[in-house]
């Protein structure tokens, strides 16, 4: 499969506007809401959603950066991949607040589980909700998004890539098939091959 565009910049914008309105509606306004952008692309998405909410509700929604990597279950505490200085910046108290986790793609649910562990370590929110641009299925944990830009049923040999202007100089969501490259010792690495 060649790369296929799933969302254009206009469609990404529409999805975020819809998510912002759903957040306002479900929470009966925007008071006591904090958006927690998950590294890396969740942060710019959270900032965009906050700007949209501000446009309609005239309330500045706090946006915080959540570095959940330390809480992942697939990295040991002694791993060199473990961040030495987590980039979580939460200068406000989240206790008693409605925290909306924001991420680009919901896949197995492991990142979200780690993010919830990170939140509980920082404070005790009144409620935690989840907003994602793309939900692609294949859950390994019983996690469901409250706000979804687009559901994209996909197979495990497909890669969904979200690009945002703030991190990648352009907005797009694409999908392409990933084939395993075999060698004498078995499978090694993912390669994207165009047929």
Beta bridge partners, 4, equal: 175
DSSP secondary-structure letter at 89? B
**pTM recorded for the entire structure:** 0.85
Structure tokens that stand for 108 in this block:
């197995």
pLDDT value of position 120? 87
The Cα–Cα gap between 163 and 188 comes to 26
The Cα–Cα gap between 160 and 189 comes to 17
Q: Where are the alpha helices (DSSP H) in 69-175?
A: 110-122, 165-168
The Cα–Cα gap between 53 and 166 comes to 19
Domains of the chain in sequence order:
9-154 (3.40.50.2020)
**Where does the chain show beta strands of DSSP type E?**
4-7, 33-38, 63-66, 98-106, 127-135, 147-151, 158-163, 172-177, 179-183, 186-191
Say how many C-beta atoms besides its own lie within 10 A of residue 76's C-beta: 10
Per-residue pLDDT of the chain (195 residues; tens, 9 = 90+): 579 999 999 999 999 999 999 999 999 999 999 999 998 899 999 999 999 999 999 999 999 999 888 887 766 554 555 455 555 557 789 999 999 999 999 999 999 999 999 898 888 999 999 999 999 999 999 999 999 999 998 998 999 999 999 999 999 999 999 876 655 455 545 555 444
């Amino acid at each position: 499969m060649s790369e296929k565009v799933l969302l254009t910049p206009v469609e990404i914008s529409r999805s975020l506007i819809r998510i912002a309105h759903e957040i306002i509606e479900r929470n009966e306004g925007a008071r006591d809401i904090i958006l927690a952008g998950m590294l890396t692309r969740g942060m710019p998405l959270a900032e965009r959603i906050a700007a949209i909410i501000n446009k309609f509700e005239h309330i500045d929604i706090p946006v915080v950066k959540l570095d959940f990597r330390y809480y992942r279950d697939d990295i040991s505490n002694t791993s060199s991949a473990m961040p030495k200085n987590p980039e979580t910046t939460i200068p406000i108290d989240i206790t008693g607040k409605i925290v909306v986790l924001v991420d680009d793609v919901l896949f197995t649910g492991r990142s979200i589980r780690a993010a919830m562990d990170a939140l509980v370590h920082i404070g005790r929110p009144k409620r935690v909700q989840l907003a994602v641009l793309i939900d692609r299925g294949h859950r390994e944990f019983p996690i469901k998004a409250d706000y979804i830009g687009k559901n994209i049923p996909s197979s495990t040999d497909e890669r969904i890539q979200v690009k945002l202007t703030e991190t990648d100089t352009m907005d797009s969501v694409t999908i392409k098939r990933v084939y395993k490259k075999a060698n004498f010792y078995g499978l090694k690495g993912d390669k994207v091959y165009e047929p």
